[in-house]
Structure formats: structure tokens, C-alpha cells
Amino acid sequence: MIGLSLLSQKGGVGKTTVALNLSFAFAKRGLRTLVVDADPQGAIGLSLRGKTTRDARGLSAFALEGATLDDVLVSTREPNLSLLPAGRVGGKEVDILYSQLSSDDVLPRLLGEAASHFDLALVDAPAGLVGPSIAAARATGNVLIPVQAEPLSLRTMPALLERVGSLREQGHDIRIAGVLLTMTSFRQDTALAVLEEAWALYRELVLETHVPRDNLFAKASAEGVPIGLLTRRAPPVAAVFDRVAAELEERLGILQGEDQGESLALVD
């Protein structure tokens, strides 16, 4: 199983949106995918409608009550996609869960249990370069860095790269799977300038696909669904995540061992 976590210093850059929609895309492409909401404030849980998600015991029961992964997994409409919501976390438990998730105990144990059921585990953590997000980076070994097309988000990149570098020096094997530009726009000068700068400074890291700013994301989030399920036929912007998934499959080496090189004849 491959692990991948979302990492950003700044909040509001699109991490949770990416985690939800990208995991849906991976599942659609046939990978047995687990998306873990490692944000004690329950970001993915809040983004989805459905009683099962709301009432789930989730990661909090796994971390604090000795539940097994099987006890707390939530299956979804998409057969290859399972969800682990943060769970019900009362005021008192937030701090305890936060420190549990920051330890090197819970997430590695969780991923260990997930390895026999899944091809890929995607972990969404809160913003910041401390606590659960760093523990998630260490546990998964691969990070995807969303950078919002606005100057502040880009300016946090050097600190983030330095942090990843220092974790590597401490012996943690962490690979940057890519930088994903989010909320992009070609009509707005400041957004465009950020894209150009990101491409110039971090060419090797930046994925070719970027996620445009689109009001449908607000709509999908209001409806509590991934964007691919907003309408019966997925809207065009949903296809972006299919491309991100395809790029990451290559970068993460997910398809190694499969007969990648062989083309398939269209007719016999």
C-alpha cells in the first residue's frame, strides 16, 4: 500500500477539497483507496453529507478507545473508496486526539492495518508544520503540497521545504510527490503571477495539472459531496482530479509491476 498525505503550512489552501476529490478519483481509477480525516476538527466529515459520516466513531475511536480499523471504516457509494472520518470529538477530547495523532503511534498502526485492504491511503491533516500533519508525513512517507494561487501561500514554500529537509536529516524517508496548484485563475493577475513564479522556482515539483478556482467547489461543499457526484454526469472540472490522480500514480510508482508498457488493441 502507498501512503500519501496532504501537507501545507497555511490553512484554507484547498487541502481537504483535494483529499476528498482526489481520493474519489483514485477510487474511480480502480485503486482501493482509503481517505483518512486526521484533522481533529473533522474537516472531511464536515464536507460530506450523510448520517453514517456524521455518526461515525471514526479515527477518534481508533486512537482513543481501542477500536480496530474494521470497526470504524465507512464505505461509500464508490465501491473502491472507504472513509475514516475524524469521529465525534468532544471539547475535552480534541487536545488528547491532537496529541495522539501527533505521536508516532496512531497513524503508523492505522496504516499497518489498512495495508491489507487498500492500495492507497490518503491522509488529510490540519494545516501547520507541527503535530498531526508532520506525523502524517512521517507515517505515509509521501507528501502532496497544495499551493493556492495567491502570494502568501507560495511564500510558505521555502519554510515547508526546509522542514521536509530537516525531517530527512533526522532519518525520516519523506518524498515530495508533487506541488499541486489550487484555486488557479488565468484571468486574475496576482493568481497568474503566482503560477508563473511557482513554475519558475519549483519546476520539478509542480504537477502539470492544476485545480482551477471554480464556484462548483462551494456548491459541492454546500451539498456535502465530492464534485464528481454533484450532478448525474460529472461536471468538467471533476476531470481535473482524474488527471492529478494519473500524474501521481506515475510519480508514486503505484503502477510498477503492472503491464504498463503494453498497449491494448481496440479491436480483435
Ligand X SMILES: Nc1ncnc2c1ncn2[C@@H]1O[C@H](COP(=O)(O)OP(=O)(O)O)[C@@H](O)[C@H]1O
Q: Which is nearer to ligand X, 11 or 165 (CB)?
A: 11
The least distance separating ligand X from the CB of residue 18, rounded to whole angstroms, comes to 7
Say if residue 137 is exposed, middle or buried (CB neighbours under 10 Å; 0-12, 13-18, 19+): buried
Q: Which is nearer to ligand X, 18 or 72 (CB)?
A: 18
Q: Which is nearer to ligand X, 18 or 254 (CB)?
A: 18
Number of residues that bind ligand X (CB under 6 A): 17
The least distance separating Mg ion from the CB of residue 49, rounded to whole angstroms, comes to 17
13 binds ligand X, rule: CB under 6 A? yes
Say if residue 213 is exposed, middle or buried (CB neighbours under 10 Å; 0-12, 13-18, 19+): middle
From 43, 74, 84, 183, residue interacting with Mg ion (rule: CB under 5 A):
43
The least distance separating Mg ion from the CB of residue 43, rounded to whole angstroms, comes to 4
Concatenated DSSP letters of 97-143:
HHHHHHSSSHHHHHHHHHTTT-SEEEEE--SSSSTHHHHHHHHHSEE
**Straight-line distance from the first to the last Cα atom of the chain, in angstroms, rounded to the nearest whole number:** 35
Give the burial string for 92-112 (b: 16+ CB within 10 Å, else e): ebeeebbebbbeeebbeebbe
158 binds ligand X, rule: CB under 6 A? no
Task: Give the whole-angstrom CA distance, residue 170 versus residue 264.
Answer: 45
Task: Give the whole-angstrom CA distance, residue 105 versus residue 100.
Answer: 7
Q: Which does 142 bind (CB under 5 to 8 A by kind): Mg ion, ligand X, none?
A: none
From 9, 10, 15, 164, residue interacting with Mg ion (rule: CB under 5 A):
15
From 22, 36, 38, 43, residue interacting with ligand X (rule: CB under 6 A):
43
Residues that bind Mg ion (CB under 5 A): 15-16, 43
Residues that bind ligand X (CB under 6 A): 11-17, 43, 127, 182-183, 211, 213-214, 217-218, 221
